[in-house]
Amino acid sequence: MGAGAGRHSLSGNATLSPNSASHILAQAGESFLPGPVLLLGAPGVGKGTQAQLLVSRYGIPQISTGDLLRANIARGTELGLKAKEIISSGRLVDDGLVNGMVLNRLQEPDTTRGYILDGYPRTLDQAKFLDRTLTELCLPPQLPVVAINIVVAYDELLRRITGRRICPACKSIYNIYTNVPKSDALCDIEGAALVQRSDDTEPVFVERMRTFDQQTAPVVHHYRKLGRFEEVNGDQPVDSVLAAIESTLLKLREAGK
Ligand SMILES: [Zn+2]
């Protein structure tokens, strides 16, 4: 079950069973330094859920460029004001500006044990900038970025997304293939007619996948070349995916990555 497939919120469906591998790993987790982790995943793999679980598991922040951009604009920082100007003129915020925001963020005290990178680095230039910055500034925990890609087969992702139905009343999420409502097309809770979001369609999915592949390929290639890239199977229960990510991360760090 993926992030969007569960009927409940994160706290409802992501509870770890006491005997899960991640529970066993928890003992090692106290002293383990996760370092910077770039979490990758196509639309629908459950990346958001896993990022939140890793955040609470290790007590490290999630750094997403979208959040950074909003925060900088809201606080009226120098970079935020520049970004606001660029966005309002209809242009795209450039690498330099994003890099600057990330650079500032990485010097905040909550990043010293590591952080989950979400949506950054998105380009090869950003990846190189980040590597260079971490080396030159010797920012704690003085570990390089490792990239972990959550992988789910194309057809399964298609089912997860095109099968998704949402209750407009209570926001419950169903899936007509994997999380079927008791009564056809009606919410189990109050009986409201379920709706499909306009972008949960196959054409939108195909386009989003194409964009994801195009954007991710150079970044994946970069980290793979450096031996700092691994894939985990995202087509398993949420806690198993988490356990897979954690053991992959341990393995990468034990290998000196
Ligand atoms: Zn409902």
For the segment 228-257, what is each residue's pLDDT rounded down to a tens digit? 999 999 999 999 999 999 999 999 999 988
Instruction: Select which of 7, 84, 113, 122 is catalytic.
Output: 122
Tell me, what's the pLDDT at 184? Answer: 86
Distance 5 CA to ligand 1 centre (A): 15
| CA separation, residue 3 to residues 60, 92, 122, 240 (Å) | 20, 29, 22, 13
pLDDT tens-digit series, residues 163-208: 999 999 999 999 999 999 999 899 999 999 999 999 999 999 999 9
The residue from 7, 84, 113, 208 that is catalytic is 208
13 pLDDT more than 60: no
Tell me, yes or no, if 105 is annotated catalytic. no
pLDDT at position 25 over 90? no
Q: For residue 188, give every residue at least 6 positions away whose Cβ sits within 8 Å of its Cβ, in sequence order, or none.
A: 7, 172, 181, 182
Please state the rounded mean pLDDT for residues 89-101.
93
Q: What is the pTM of this model?
A: 0.82
How confident is the prediction for the chain on average, in pLDDT? 89
Residues lining ligand 1 (ion), CB within 5 A? 167, 169-170, 172, 187, 189-190, 192
Query: Per residue in 115-161, pLDDT tens?
Result: 999 999 999 999 999 999 999 999 889 999 999 999 999 999 999 99
Residue 6 has pLDDT above 50, yes or no: no
Task: Output the 3-class SS for the chain.
Answer: CCCCCCCCCHHHHCCCCCCCHHHHHHHHHCCCCCEEEEEEECCCCCHHHHHHHHHHHHCCCEEEHHHHHHHHHHHCCHHHHHHHHHHHCCCCCCHHHHHHHHHHHCCCHHHCCEEEEECCCCCHHHHHHHHHHHHHHCCCCCCCCEEEEEECCHHHHHHHHHCEEECCCCCCEEECCCECCCCCCECCCCCCECECCCCCCHHHHHHHHHHHHHHHHHHHHHHHHCCCEEEEECCCCHHHHHHHHHHHHHHHHHCCC
Q: Does pLDDT of 20 surpass 50?
A: no
Given a cut of 90, whether residue 218 has pLDDT beyond it is: yes
As given in the structure block, the two tokens for residue 212 are 């994801």
Q: Is-catalytic flag, 57? A: no
Annotation says 253 is catalytic: no
pLDDT above 90: percentage of residues in the chain: 84
pLDDT on residue 8? 40
